[in-house]
């Protein structure tokens, strides 16, 4: 069900009940007209009902869903019973008293439906009264019968009628999911009210609207300020608009005590000194609201219980609201829950920012007041807020612990927007989770050894003229129970000062945060020997005149044109993070660090950074960042002693326009986050150089990286862009990725060089490269302008290669693999020399196939297999002895000689062509096994020499052997082929003893025979 209040909501201030209602006997004395007889002169004016009386019993049999009965008097003596028999639980009987006397109910009233009683003269439920109905409205406000019958439940104070009261001293029992409304200018409960899963509302006001929605929900509005005092049944002015000194129980439901009064009509508008219970029934605890409106006091010295102690139950909600709110000694608020703490709002919600919750001007919590929002077994601690706009005094106890078996600590705020006096106890610990946070939020505060002060403790709601002071003992005690956030609220010039002679020292895993809208000034040391962090965040300057030390992290931020300065002391922590919109440190007075990790950020333009470190530093990570659009810092200086790792945090490192960035590290390495350098970048480290996950690096100019011989360089994140050439001075394994046009200068490393120029981009090698191995990718081409590529391991070229002048590739007994074609730069006829030792050489694609891109000399040296997988066009070809050359690409065309000093195997249809130059086979020539691949050699006037056997291997006989030369063709070994054909004009020397073919042998030129020549055909 929802509720709404016409005016904003408020809270209390006295320590004891301000209303002490007299007994029914005393009331009788003051009101002698009380006859204590059964209801008299009942007249059914609307609807259908029958009234019958028998002895001491009065029965109303109601036939219609709604009925209006006017009574001269509606009283029930202690021995009397009034019974309403109604069509259903939602049926309503409106009983209006038209006589001039108050209603006195001392006996029994029962109904299976809802009963409304209106009497502008007052309503008393005496000590012996027993009420058992589905719903009850007892009010001194009046309602029109036609409005009522049409469902418009609009109650208002009659003109000319004095303010009156509704008092309960008896027992009121409401059926499950029902309601009980006691509404009058003055309302008091001294008895007991029960409404399981229902709603109990005690309201001081002059207007009431009830809305029973068709969906079963119910809303209500109480409005109209009480501007004159209320004379109670004892003839004295009532001291509270709404008072509970008895017991109210609405398990799983809602209890609301709401007042709306002006000026000083009451000592307190709402006062609870009794017990209010809205504990969990099925799921979570219910809701209790004490709201005194925007004038006057709301006070509590009693018990409010919205706990959920059953399995899976969480605590409920308590709101204590008003212009001035007080939780006085004896207050017990329980919003704990087995599976999670509930919510307690006193004086407002978080930082007073919830427009739907009235902010108090003053708030007070006494030394014996206790608020509990613990999670008992599992779940997180709850939320406790104590807020006021002007001044808050807190001397009590708050607990919002995490569950004993799992869960985090809760959140507590104790704030006075202008002034705060905090001298209480707050426990937000968690046995198996994260500790919660305590927020203290005055306008400005000094942390010192002086007593806590900003409001006089002698008189509640009375501020002194002094600014807030937080005692160091109080603060360190709080830091033993939770993280503590002290911040100045509302903007302006609020300053946080740690006074000289007032060190703050604690030992816990809980952290201290100071947050100021203006300056933070630290004049004495802040020290935590535990791992809790120290965070100072200022809207302007952070001024350090003493040391900060913790085993955890230190974070300092200065925004809004502020800077971070330090005149003495050291920052000692596992990690120090500095962020300033202007400078960090001043000329000649750097910020001194003694830390494992430093993040330093300047967010404004034209400011310098001065950071020095103690000599004891080891394994430090330094992250330096300048935001987008900044100019080159004029005199940036950074000295890290004892060994450090430089790195760059997410965001921009240096903007475009900065000419040079130079980093030097002598311990464990460099980690680079998302960074942009407008000029050149140089990074030298004694450890690994790498990137943060998902970070990108953009460098407009040249880059140089040096990680030492034993350390890797990994700059392989997607999105990197090296605009200038990259030089690797030293390193082990190196991985580079670029999105556009990568260029490598000198590379000298001991491990793998893996470079990827990105989609549709070229990779250019501009100088000598020495590496353990290389794996190169350039989707638009790999341009080798270097004269020497030397590796101890494999060389892999995954894309097309374009050769510059005089390229030499050398490995130590390792594979050289070209995954695609190899061409010279256009018209240059650049040669290629590969020396692989015992490693294989593979040219997968065509060689020199591009227009005007034929190679110069092609020299292939391997004692393993050399594979020509595509057509070859070059000035010449030379292979060394000791290996095998597999010619699988169909053709080799040269303008000069072709010399194959090793064994040769032929793929399908091999054709070797020279321009009047020699073709020399220094060893045997075979077909690939079983394939019978042929060989055609056209040498023009060049000689053809086949020194070794041809087709000698088992199943490796050649197909057609065609030898065209006007010079000498020499067959130095036995020949096995499908056929032999020589052209006219030259000489064929058959010196190998035999030529065996399955087909013809045709020698069109002169033939000379060696010893014992045998020609055989099939």
Q: What is the DSSP secondary-structure string of 299-367?
A: EE-SEEE--B-STT----EEEEESSEEEE-TT-EEE--BTT---EEEESSSGGG--TTSPPPSEEEE-T
pLDDT number for residue 160: 86
Enter the tokens of residue 778.
């350039």
Pairwise CA distance, residues 711 & 731, whole Å: 5
pLDDT number for residue 693: 82
C-beta atoms surrounding 235 within 10 Å? 12
Among 129, 253, 128, 230, residue whose Cα is nearest residue 180:
253
Among 298, 303, 415, residue whose Cα is nearest residue 9:
298
pLDDT number for residue 826: 85
C-beta atoms surrounding 377 within 10 Å? 17
Pairwise CA distance, residues 959 & 344, whole Å: 97
Contact 483, 437 (CB under 8 A): yes
Enter the tokens of residue 981.
């054909």
CA atoms within 13 A on the CB side of 796: 12
Contact 1013, 989 (CB under 8 A): no
Pairwise CA distance, residues 296 & 1010, whole Å: 132
In which element (H, E) is residue 689 found? strand 688-691
Pairwise CA distance, residues 236 & 388, whole Å: 33
pLDDT number for residue 585: 67
Contacts of 27 (CB under 8 A, 6+ apart): 34, 104, 124, 126, 233, 234
pLDDT number for residue 25: 39
Name residue, tokens 């030397």: 790
Secondary structure letter of residue 24 according to DSSP: H
CA atoms within 13 A on the CB side of 554: 28
Contact 766, 726 (CB under 8 A): no
pLDDT number for residue 1002: 96
Pairwise CA distance, residues 897 & 928, whole Å: 24
Pairwise CA distance, residues 343 & 1000, whole Å: 105
Enter the tokens of residue 499.
């006074």
pLDDT number for residue 636: 36
DSSP 930-954: TT---EEEEEETS-EEE-S-BS-ST
In which element (H, E) is residue 537 found? strand 534-538
**End-to-end Cα spacing for the chain:** 109
Secondary structure letter of residue 120 according to DSSP: T
Starting from the edge strand earliest in sequence, which strands make up the sheet with 496-498, in order?
468-471, 445-448, 496-498, 520-522, 542-544, 564-566
Secondary structure letter of residue 231 according to DSSP: B
Pairwise CA distance, residues 800 & 783, whole Å: 9
Pairwise CA distance, residues 680 & 745, whole Å: 14
Give the pLDDT confidence of 302-350 residue by residue, as tens digits: 999 999 999 999 999 999 999 999 999 999 999 999 999 999 999 999 9
Secondary structure letter of residue 270 according to DSSP: E
Q: How many residues does the chain have?
A: 1018
Helical ranges in 756-824 per DSSP H: none
Bridge pairing between strands 218-223 and 207-212: antiparallel
Beta-sheet strands, E only, within 74-185: 81-85, 92-97, 103-105, 108-111, 114-118, 123-125, 130-139, 153-156, 165-168, 171-184
> How far, in Å, are 289, 385, 403 from residue 341 at the CA level?
17, 13, 9
Give the pLDDT confidence of 22-79 residue by residue, as tens digits: 333 344 434 444 444 789 999 999 999 999 999 999 999 999 999 999 999 999 999 9
Beta-bridge partners for 142: 156
Name residue, tokens 């040296």: 861
pLDDT number for residue 466: 57
Contacts of 627 (CB under 8 A, 6+ apart): 601, 602, 603, 604, 651, 652, 655
In which element (H, E) is residue 479 found? helix 472-479
Among 858, 846, 880, 762, residue whose Cα is nearest residue 809:
858
> How far, in Å, are 255, 291, 304, 345 from residue 325 at the CA level?
18, 9, 15, 11
How many whole angstroms from its chain centre is CA 599? 19
C-beta atoms surrounding 572 within 10 Å? 19
Pairwise CA distance, residues 998 & 975, whole Å: 12
Radius of gyration of the chain (CA): 48
Pairwise CA distance, residues 420 & 32, whole Å: 52
Q: How many helices and strands, by DSSP H and E, does the chain display?
A: 3, 105
Bridge pairing between strands 171-184 and 130-139: parallel
Contact 622, 638 (CB under 8 A): yes
Pairwise CA distance, residues 669 & 688, whole Å: 5
For residue 808, the SS3 value is strand
Pairwise CA distance, residues 322 & 305, whole Å: 20
Hey, what's the torsion of the CAs at 866, 871, 877, 880, to 10 degrees?
10
Pairwise CA distance, residues 785 & 799, whole Å: 16
Contact 232, 177 (CB under 8 A): no
Starting from the edge strand earliest in sequence, which strands make up the sheet with 153-156, in order?
4-5, 218-223, 207-212, 153-156
C-beta atoms surrounding 960 within 10 Å? 18
DSSP 376-439: SSBS---EEEEEESSEEEE-SEEE-PPPTTB----EEEEEESSEEEE-SEEE---TTS---EEE
The residues of the chain scoring below 70 in pLDDT are 1-36, 214-216, 452-459, 463-466, 489-493, 582-583, 585-590, 592-669, 673, 787
C-beta atoms surrounding 405 within 10 Å? 12
In which element (H, E) is residue 145 found? helix 145-149
């Amino acid at each position: 069900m929802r509720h709404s209040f016409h005016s904003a909501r408020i809270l209390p201030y006295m320590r004891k009940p301000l209303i002490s209602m007299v007994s029914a006997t005393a009331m009788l004395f003051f009101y002698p007209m009380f006859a204590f007889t059964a209801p008299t002169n009942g007249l059914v004016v609307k609807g259908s009902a029958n009234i019958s009386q028998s002895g001491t019993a009065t029965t109303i049999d109601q036939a219609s869903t709604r009925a209006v009965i006017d009574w001269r008097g509606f009283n029930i003596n202690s021995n009397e019973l009034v019974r309403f028999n109604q069509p259903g639980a939602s049926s309503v009987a409106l009983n209006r008293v038209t006589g001039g006397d108050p209603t006195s109910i001392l006996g029994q009233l029962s109904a299976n439906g809802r009963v409304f009683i209106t009497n502008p003269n007052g309503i008393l439920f005496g000590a012996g009264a027993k009420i058992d109905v589905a719903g009850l409205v007892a009010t001194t406000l009046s309602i029109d019968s036609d409005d009522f019958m049409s469902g418009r439940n609009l109650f208002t104070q009659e003109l000319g009628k004095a303010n009156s009261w509704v008092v309960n001293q008896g027992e009121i029992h409401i059926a499950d999911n029902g309601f009980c409304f006691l509404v009058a200018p003055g309302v008091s409960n001294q008895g007991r009210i029960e409404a399981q899963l229902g709603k109990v509302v005690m309201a001081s006001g002059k207007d009431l609207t009830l809305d029973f929605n068709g969906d079963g929900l119910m809303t209500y509005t109480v409005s109209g300020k009480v501007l004159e005092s209320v004379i109670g049944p004892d003839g004295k002015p009532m001291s509270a608009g709404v008072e509970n000194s008895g017991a109210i129980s609405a398990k799983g439901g809602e209890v609301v005590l709401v007042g709306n009064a002006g000026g000083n009509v009451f000592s307190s508008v709402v006062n609870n000194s009794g017990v209010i219970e809205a504990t969990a029934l099925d799921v979570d605890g219910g809701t209790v609201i004490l709201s005194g409106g925007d004038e006057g006091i709301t006070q509590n010295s009693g018990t409010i219980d919205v706990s959920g102690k059953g399995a899976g139950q969480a605590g409920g909600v308590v709101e204590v609201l008003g212009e001035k709110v007080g939780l006085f000694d004896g207050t017990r608020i329980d919003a704990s829950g087995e599976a999670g703490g509930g919510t307690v709002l006193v004086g407002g919600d978080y930082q007073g920012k919830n427009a739907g919750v009235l902010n108090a001007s003053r708030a007070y919590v006494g030394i014996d007041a206790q608020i509990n929002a613990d999670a008992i077994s599992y779940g997180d601690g709850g939320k406790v807020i104590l807020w006021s706009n002007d001044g808050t005094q807190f001397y009590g106890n708050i607990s919002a612990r995490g569950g004993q078996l799992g869960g985090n600590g809760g959140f507590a705020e104790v704030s006075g927007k202008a002034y705060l006096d905090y001298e209480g106890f707050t426990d937000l610990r968690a046995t198996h989770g994260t500790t919660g946070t305590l927020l203290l939020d005055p306008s400005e505060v000094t942390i010192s050894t002086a007593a806590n002060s900003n409001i006089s403790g002698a008189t509640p709601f009375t501020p002194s003229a002094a600014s807030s002071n937080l005692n160091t003992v109080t603060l360190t005690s709080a830091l033993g129970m939770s993280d503590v956030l002290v911040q100045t609220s509302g903007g302006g010039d609020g300053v946080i000062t740690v006074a000289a002679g007032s060190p703050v020292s604690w030992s816990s895993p809980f952290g201290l945060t100071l947050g100021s809208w203006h300056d933070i000034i630290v004049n004495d040391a802040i020290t935590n020997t535990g791992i809790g962090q120290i965070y100072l965040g200022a809207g302007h300057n952070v001024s350090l005149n003493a040391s900060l030390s913790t085993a955890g992290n230190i974070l300092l931020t200065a925004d809004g044109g502020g800077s971070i300065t330090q005149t003495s002391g050291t920052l000692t922590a596992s990690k120090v993070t500095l962020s300033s919109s202007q400078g960090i440190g001043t000329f000649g007075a750097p910020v001194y660090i003694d830390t494992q990790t430093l993040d330093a950020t300047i967010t404004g333009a034209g400011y310098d950074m001065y950071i020095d470190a103690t000599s004891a530093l080891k394994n430090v990570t330094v992250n330096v960042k300048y935001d987008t659009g900044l100019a080159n810092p004029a005199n940036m200086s950074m000295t890290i002693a004892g060994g450090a790792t430089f790195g760059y945090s997410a965001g921009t490192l240096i903007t475009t326009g900065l000419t040079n960035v130079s980093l030097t590290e002598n311990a464990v390495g460099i980690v680079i986050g998302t960074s942009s350098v407008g000029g050149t970048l140089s990074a030298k480290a004694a450890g690994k150089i790498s990137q943060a996950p998902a970070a990108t690096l953009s460098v407009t100019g040249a880059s140089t990286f040096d990680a030492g011989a034993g350390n890797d360089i990994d700059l392989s994140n997607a999105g990197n862009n090296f605009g200038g050439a990259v030089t690797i001075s030293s390193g082990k394994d190196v991985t580079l990725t670029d999105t556009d046009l990568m260029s490598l200068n000198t590379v000298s490393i001991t491990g793998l060089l893996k470079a990827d120029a990105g989609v549709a981009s070229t990779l250019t090698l501009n100088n000598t490269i020495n590496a353990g191995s290389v794996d190169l990718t350039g989707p638009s081409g790999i341009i080798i302008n270097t004269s020497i590529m030397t590796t101890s391991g494999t060389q892999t070229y995954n894309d097309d290669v374009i050769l510059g002048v005089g390229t030499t590739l050398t490995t130590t007994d390792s594979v050289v693999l070209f995954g695609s074609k190899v061409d010279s730069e256009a018209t240059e006829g650049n040669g290629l020399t590969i020396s692989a030792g015992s490693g294989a050489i593979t040219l997968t694609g065509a060689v020199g196939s591009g227009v005007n891109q034929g190679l110069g000399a092609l020299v292939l040296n391997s004692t393993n297999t050399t594979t020509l997988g595509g057509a070859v066009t070059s000035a010449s070809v030379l292979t060394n002895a000791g290996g095998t050359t597999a010619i699988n690409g169909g053709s080799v065309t040269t303008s000069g000689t072709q010399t194959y000093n090793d064994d040769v195997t032929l793929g399908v249809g091999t054709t070797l062509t020279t321009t009047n130059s020699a073709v020399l086979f220094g060893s045997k020539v075979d077909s690939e096994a079983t394939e019978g691949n042929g060989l055609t050699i056209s040498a023009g006037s060049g000689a053809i020499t086949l020194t070794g056997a041809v087709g000698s291997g088992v199943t490796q006989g050649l197909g057609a052997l065609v030898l065209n030369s006007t010079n000498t063709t020499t067959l130095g070994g036995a020949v096995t082929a499908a056929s032999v054909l020589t052209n006219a004009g030259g000489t064929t020397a058959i010196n190998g003893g035999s030529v065996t073919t399955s087909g013809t042998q045709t020698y069109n030129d002169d033939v000379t025979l060696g010893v014992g020549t045998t020609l055989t055909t099939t």
